[in-house]
Amino acid sequence: MSTATVLRPRVDDRLTARFARSAAATRTGAFLPTHSFTEWLARRARAHRFRVDRIPFAELDGWSFRDDFGVLGHHSGRFFTVEGVSVTTGPDPLLHWQQPIINQPEVGILGILAKEFDGVLHFLMQAKMEPGNPNLLQLSPTVQATRSNYTKVHRGSDVKYIDHFVEPGRGRVLADVMQSEHGAWFLRKSNRNMIVETDEDVPVDEDFCWLTLGQIGELLHRDNVVNMDARTVLACAPTEPAEREALHSDTEVRSWFTAERSRHDVRVDPVPLARVTDWVRTPTTIEHVAQRYFRVVAVSVQADSREVTAWSQPLIEPCAEGVIAFVTRRFAGVPHVLVHARVEGGFLDTVELAPTVQYTPENYAHRGAGRRPPFLDLVLDADPADIRYEAIHSEEGGRFLNAESRYLFVTADADQAPDEPPPGYRWVTPGQLNSLVRHGHYLNVQARTLLAVLNCGAVRL
């Protein structure tokens, strides 16, 4: 006897409608009103002991400079290393540089558990301490763990809720895609971004809470509340499909992006950390001779809410605050954002789609007129009436110290941002971004933060 084959729809319109209902629920969820979140987070901070101290490299426990200062690594051979690289992206001298970079080849899991309450999807979020967060405690995914974490290389306690993401068939997968991390500071680093729906009765640990997508959108208006790992996962949420019309078709956008990848020849070669040009080591830092870009520092950490309650590690600390923005326009009434095919030395495949502006202005202060990046001055000098969204968000606090950027959506006109932008830039719709983000290594992590802002309803263009 044969069994009938059951075919499933390629796109689940019911699922996107469920996410839309969740994004519309902004004031309260089934458990926690949005206005009560600040006190809830403060209680979680008071419930634990957190402390982060800067220390000299010599006081790092289990870390050392190996191979004649060729690499800074952990004695276990796991976690990550700080290494030197030489990057060449073209014949111009400005397109060649050397720098320290984090090499963490293992793939981690960034996972958010979803469940429906009272007909509305909720997401299990964690108040998680990271040593590099400016305010230490931020809202993170249900699971935010490297393989070393959840396989307990550090001999710590179990990662809570990890079974929902590593046991096949434990729940319904709503999103699952490999995404890059910061290409300027990580060497070819990827994490698995997942949203998994459960119908189980899930015991909620005291450091976790259920929130709707709309509640998270409200929190995205606040500085340094929703962490980077939560933002990148929420960017992958299955939301509304692409708009019916766009300035460029989906095929044209993908072809343009493929051409951008093809025309860039990026070469990354290892360099001993002690020999990286224009970088010097002190007892407490590895820093650029001009005090630009970032520095490598060391910290000791105490956090009694973590799987391991005390440790030390290196961190990358930027020298100034970044500015990250999508410039937006409407074409025939349809909102578009201006993406940049951006080269970064740590990307797996030459370029990824970045926001229009992704820079630290202080790094370009020494450049003369006409040598500043495109659209940077447009964003910096924007009329407040043209700023549709603005908030300060910090980057991944497990590897970066006080890495803050001002994220914006800025409306422009045709004179400021023309229909035919400079080479390397292209107008796309938010729906086209949502289509691309379902595939790995198309949108960089900064673009995904701004897409998460859109997906959660924090701004409407």
Stated length of the chain: 461
d(CA 403, CA 103): 18
Q: CA dihedral defined by 427, 432, 436, 437, rounded to 10 degrees?
A: 100
pLDDT of 3 strictly over 70:
no
Mean pLDDT of 134-148: 91
Residue 157: what pLDDT? Answer: 65
Indicate if the pLDDT at residue 379 is higher than 70.
yes
**pLDDT interval class at 151 (50, 70, 90):** low
d(CA 139, CA 142): 9
Percent of the chain with pLDDT over 70: 94
- Name the token pair of 287: 């820093």
- Using only C-alpha atoms, the chain has a radius of gyration, in whole angstroms, of 22
Report the pLDDT averaged over residues 30-38: 97
Per-residue buried b or exposed e for 326-345, using 16+ beta carbons within 10 Å of the residue's own CB:
bbbbeeeebbbbbbbbbbbb
What pLDDT, on the 0 to 100 scale, is given for residue 152?
A: 55
Residue 88 confidence (pLDDT) above 90:
yes
Mean of the per-residue pLDDT values of the chain: 93
> Does the pLDDT value for residue 156 go beyond 60?
no
CB 417 within 8 A of CB 329: yes
Which of 125-129, 157-161, 182-186, 326-330 is the least confident region? 157-161
- Residue 380 above 80 pLDDT? yes
Over residues 339-357, the pLDDT tens digits come to 999 999 999 999 999 999 9
Q: Is residue 150 over pLDDT 80?
A: no
> Over 80: is that where the pLDDT of 51 sits?
yes
Query: pTM surpassing 0.85?
Result: yes
Q: Is 185 left (phi over 0), alpha (psi -120 to 50) or beta?
A: alpha
* Phi, psi (degrees; rounded to nearest 5) at 331: -120, 120
Q: What are phi and psi of 61, to 5 degrees?
A: -95, 110
User: 3-state SS string over the chain?
Assistant: CCCCCCCCCCCCHHHHHHHHHHHHCCCECCCCEHHHHHHHHHHHHHCCCEEEEEECHHHCCCEEEECCCCEEEECCCCCCEEEEEEEECCCCHHHEEEEEEEECCCCEEEEEEEEEECCEEEEEEEEEECCCCCCCEEEECCEEECHHHHCCCCCCCCCCCCHHHHCCCCCEEEEEEEEECCCCCECCCEEEEEEEECCCCCCCCCCEEEEEHHHHHHHCCCCCCECHHHHHHHHCCCCCCCCCCCCCCHHHHHHHHHHHHHHCCCEEEEECHHHCCCEEECCCCEEECCCCCEEEEEEEEEECCCCCCEEEEEEEEECCCEEEEEEEEEECCEEEEEEEEEECCCCCCCEEEECCEEECHHHHCCCCCCCCCCCHHHHHCCCHHHEEEEEEEECCCCCECCCEEEEEEEECCCCCCCCCCCCCEEEECHHHHHHHCCCCCCECHHHHHHHHHHHCCCCCC
Distance CA 421, CA 419 (A): 6
- Mean pLDDT to the nearest integer, 55-74: 92
pLDDT tens-digit profile of 263-302?
Answer: 999 999 999 999 999 999 999 999 999 999 999 999 999 9
pLDDT, position 1? 45
SS3 category, 147: helix
Residues 139-149 have a mean pLDDT of 87
Average pLDDT over residues 229-244: 90
Q: pLDDT tens digits, residue range 415-428? A: 999 999 999 999 99
Report how far Cα 51 is from the mean position of its chain's Cα atoms: 24
pLDDT, tens only, 173-230: 999 999 999 999 999 999 999 999 999 999 999 999 999 999 999 999 999 999 999 9
Q: Give the tens place of pLDDT for each residue, 394-440.
A: 999 999 999 999 999 999 999 999 999 999 999 999 999 999 999 99
Better-scored residue on pLDDT, 123 or 156: 123
When pLDDT is cut at 50, 70 and 90, the band that residue 304 belongs to is: confident
